[in-house]
Structure 1
Amino acid sequence: MNQGRTQKQTGKFGVTKGFDSRKVEKEGDIMTIGKEPITAYATTRVIKIADMMIDNDCRRIPIVDAGTKKLLGIAKAIDIVDFLGGGEKYNIILNNFKGNFLSAINSPIAKITSSNFTTLTNLDSIDDALKIIIRMHTSLIPVVDKDGKILKVISEKDVFPTLKISGVKACDIMQREVITVTPETTIKDLARMVVNTQKRRIPVVSDGHLVGIISVMDVLKFLKEGEFKSIMSEEILSETVNKIMKQPNVVFLDTDLDYIVTEMKETGFGGFPVVEDSKLLGMITTTDVIKAFYRNEE
C-alpha cells in the first residue's frame, strides 16, 4: 500500500503516492490479478461518467491526466448521487448552477472528483488489497507505478472466494442492523441516506415486509434512461423510490454460504436481503462473504 512504505507526494486531487528510491524492490503478486482500468479525464462531463459506470457495471472510475495518464482522483457513483441531492455536493447545483439540473450534469467531473481514496503500488501484495477491501469497504483499488501512472485496478471480484466453505450459514455472517426506506421515500431523501450511510444498496420495506431493493446504480440508471424530465433539480428529486426499485433476490437464515457465493457470481449482485416470511432480518454483501472466507483461512 502507499501508506507507510516511503515518502509521499500529494497529487492534484490529493492522491498520495511514493516509492523507496534507495533500492529496487521485487514486484508484488498484486500484478497477477486485476484488469486494465477504464479511465476518464477531469474535463469529462458528469453525465458521461454516469453512462460509463452503467455501461461497464462499475461504481468507480479513475480520473487521469490526459497527457501523462497519471492518476488524479476517483469518480465515484456515490459522489454523483451526493451531487444530485444527497449531501454537501448538492450545494454545487444550488450555488453554481442555480438549481438547474441539466447544466449541472453537463459540468466537468473534476467538480466532484474524490480525493479520499487509497492506492496500491506494483510492489504490493494481494493480502494488501484484501485488507483495504475488508477494512475500507471499497469496491475498486487503483495500482500505480513509481510515477503515479495507473497500471490496473483491483476489484472485489478479483479477490472473491473460489473455494467452498462448509458449515457457514447466512445467519452466521449477515448484517443484522439494516438501513431501509419505503416505496414513498423520495429520491432526494434516498440520496442523502446513501451518502450519509455509505451503503451501496438499501432494502425497500412496507408494513414490515420486504418489497424491493434499490442501489446507487439504480439511481444512475434512472438518470441515464432519461426519466428526469424536469430542468430544476428539486422537481427531479421529488420522484419516489417505487418508480425505480427492483424486485430483490433473497436468501434465508439457513442458506449455505456456498450457495450465496454461487448466486453472487452468476447474478452479479453484490448483496442479498436475508428474510423469513418476507420480513427483512439482515443483509449479506460481497464484503461479508470475503471477510468470512478469509477469516476461515487464517
Structure 2
Amino acid sequence: MHQNGNGVKQGDRLLKMPGTLDRGPVEFRSHIVEQEGEVMAIATRDVVSVPRTMTIIAAVEQMTACGFRRLPVTDAGTKKLRGILTSGDVISLLGGGDTSRLVGEKHHGNLIAAVNESVRAIMTQTVVTLPDSARIREAVDTIVTKKIGGLPIVDKLGVLVGIVTERDVLRVLAAERSTLHVEDVMSQSLRVTAPDCPIATVTHDMMKYRFRRLPVVSDDVLYGIVTATDLMRYLGSREVFARMTTGNVAEVTNLPVRILIAGELTTTTPEKSINEAAREMLEKNIGALPVIEDSHLIGLVTEFDLVRAFARG
C-alpha cells in the first residue's frame, strides 16, 4: 500500500468529500454492509467459467453472448483457477500479438482451424487474483497499479469464488462527490485510426500500445470508436466466417475497421463532472466516453481513468 503524509495507508482513505462541505476521509467500509465488509460484497459470485479443453471459438461465443470482456478458465471438477481468457487474448490471436502464431505458423493462416484449438492455447496463464478475504481498497489498488480491468477472486485452495471489475469498484467510488471534471482526468494524447484502416493494423496497435479501444477519426471528425469487445464480437458472432471464402485469416483482417463500428456513439464534454461521466458509463454499460469540444475529439475518458481519479480523491 502507498503511504500518505499522515502515515495512514492511502487505501484506508481513498474517498474524500472536497469543497466547502468537506467531511474528511470516508472509509470504504462505510459503503459496504457491516457483516461483510470485504471485496466479496461487491463482486460477482456466480461466475461463469470454462474448462481448458473448451474450444477457443466456443469460449469466445460464450463471452460474446454474455457480454463479458474476460472469462476465467478452471478445472471442470474442482473449479480451481487455471487461467483467464480476455478480449486481449482474442485480439492477439487475430494478428495483434504472440498467439497469432497459432494461426500463422501452426495452421498456415487458417483461422477456422486455429479457433477450434482448445482455450489453453491462447489463455493468459499467469493471472492476477485477489483472496476472498481482500478488502475493496486492495481491489482498487491492484486495478490502478497493475492496470487490470478484472480480478478473479479465489479461496485458500485456489478455487474460483468470484470476480471483481473496474465497473464494480467504480459503482462504490462514484457514490462520493468530486470537484474534478472530465478534462482533469481524460487522456489527451490519443492514438487514433481511420475508418479504412485494416483490422490487422488496429489489432497490432491495440496490442503494441496496450489499448482496449481506439477512436476512429475521419477528416478530424469522430467517426466512431472500436473496442477490444467489438473485435472479440466479430469472431464470437461468427460474422468473421461469413466474410471468408478460403478460411485464411487475411481475408478478414485486411478488411477496413469501419465494418465493426455500429450503433449509437455516446460522448461527453470536458466541463462535465466525473460523477456525471461515471453515472453515464454505469447506466449505459460502456467503458469509455470520447470527449468532444466544438465538434472535435479532444480526449477520451475511461472507467480506469475514473477509478484512478476517485481513488486519489
What TM-score results when the alignment is normalised by the length of structure 2? 0.83
Alpha-carbon separation, structure 2, partners of 1:122 and 1:135: 20
Match of 2:134 among 124, 129, 132: 124
Query: What's 2:295 paired with?
Result: 278
Q: How many residues align?
A: 271
Aligned partner (choices 173, 186, 199) of residue 198 of structure 2: 186
Report the equivalent of 2:221: 209
1:147-226 paired onto structure 2 within 5 Å: 147-160=157-170, 161-226=173-238
Q: Equivalents in 2 of 1:46, 1:135: separation in Å?
A: 30
Which amino acid in structure 1 is aligned with residue 281 of structure 2?
A: M
Tell me which amino acid in the other structure corresponds to 1:34.
A
**Contact 2:174–2:275 (CA under 8 A) maintained in structure 1:** no
2:239 is paired with a residue whose SS is coil
Matched residue, 1:264? 281
1:142 to 2:152 alignment:
yes
CA distance in structure 2 between the aligned counterparts of 1:221 and 1:154, rounded to whole angstroms: 22
Deviation at 1:275, TM superposition (A): 1.4
Instruction: Specify every segment of 5 or more residues in structure 1 that has no aligned partner in the other structure, as ranges.
Output: 2-26
- Alignment of 1:55 onto 2:69: no
Relative to structure 1, the CA distance from residue 146 to residue 28 in structure 2 (aligned partners, 3 Å threshold; closer, same or farther) is farther
Instruction: Please state how far the C-alpha of 1:28 moved relative to its aligned partner.
Output: 7.0
Shift of 1:164: 4.1
Tell me the C-alpha RMSD between the 2 structures. 1.7
Look up the equivalent residue of 1:76 and give its one-letter code: T
* CA distance in 2: counterparts of 1:49 and 1:196, whole angstroms: 24
Percent of aligned pairs sharing the same letter? 29
Q: State the alpha-carbon separation in 1 of the partners of residues 109 and 58 from structure 2.
A: 20
2:248 equivalent to 1:239? no
Aligned-partner SS, 2:48: coil
1:234 alignment partner AA:
A
Tell me the alpha carbon deviations over residues 74-94 of structure 1, each in whole angstroms, 9 at most, x when there is no partner: 111111110111122111111
Q: 1:62, 1:263 → 2: CA distance?
A: 28
Once residues 162 and 170 of structure 1 are traced to their aligned partners in structure 2, the CA distance between those partners, rounded to angstroms, is 13
Query: Does the 8 Å contact 1:28/1:122 carry over to 2?
Result: no
Give the alignment partner of residue 29 of structure 1, picking from 28, 38, 41.
Answer: 38
Structure 1 residues 293 and 112, CA, compared in 2 at 3 Å: closer, same or farther?
same
Q: Deviations over 1:88-136 (max 9, x none)?
A: 2111111211111111111111000102331111222111100111112
Mapped contact 2:281–2:287 kept (Cα < 8 A):
yes
Are the aligned partners of 1:70 and 1:147 in contact in 2 as well (CA < 8 Å)?
yes
**Does the Cα contact within 8 Å between 1:176 and 1:281 map onto a contact in 2?**
yes
Q: Which of 244, 267, 270 matches 1:253?
A: 270
For 2:191 and 2:59, the matched residues in 1 are separated by 27
CA distance in 2, matches of 1:192, 1:222: 16
**1:165: how far off?**
2.2
Change (3 A) 1:138 1:207: same
Aligned-residue offset at 1:70: 0.6
Q: Deviations over 1:25-58 (max 9, x none)?
A: xx97122220121100101111111111112221
Secondary structure of the 1:251 match is coil
Residue of structure 2 equivalent to 1:79: 89
Q: TM-score, with normalisation over the residues of structure 1?
A: 0.87
Equivalent in the alignment of 2:120: 110
CA contact (8 A) 1:173 1:288 kept: yes
Residue 89 of structure 2 contacts residue 122 of structure 2 at CA under 8 Å; is this kept in 1? Answer: yes
Q: 1:124/1:224 Cα in 2 relative to 1: closer, same or farther (>3 Å)? A: closer
Residue 142 of structure 1 and its aligned partner are, at CA, apart by 1.0
Gapped regions of structure 2 (runs ≥ 5):
2-35
1:13 corresponds to which residue? none
Amino acid at match of 2:255: E
Inter-partner Cα distance in structure 1 for 2:49 and 2:298: 38
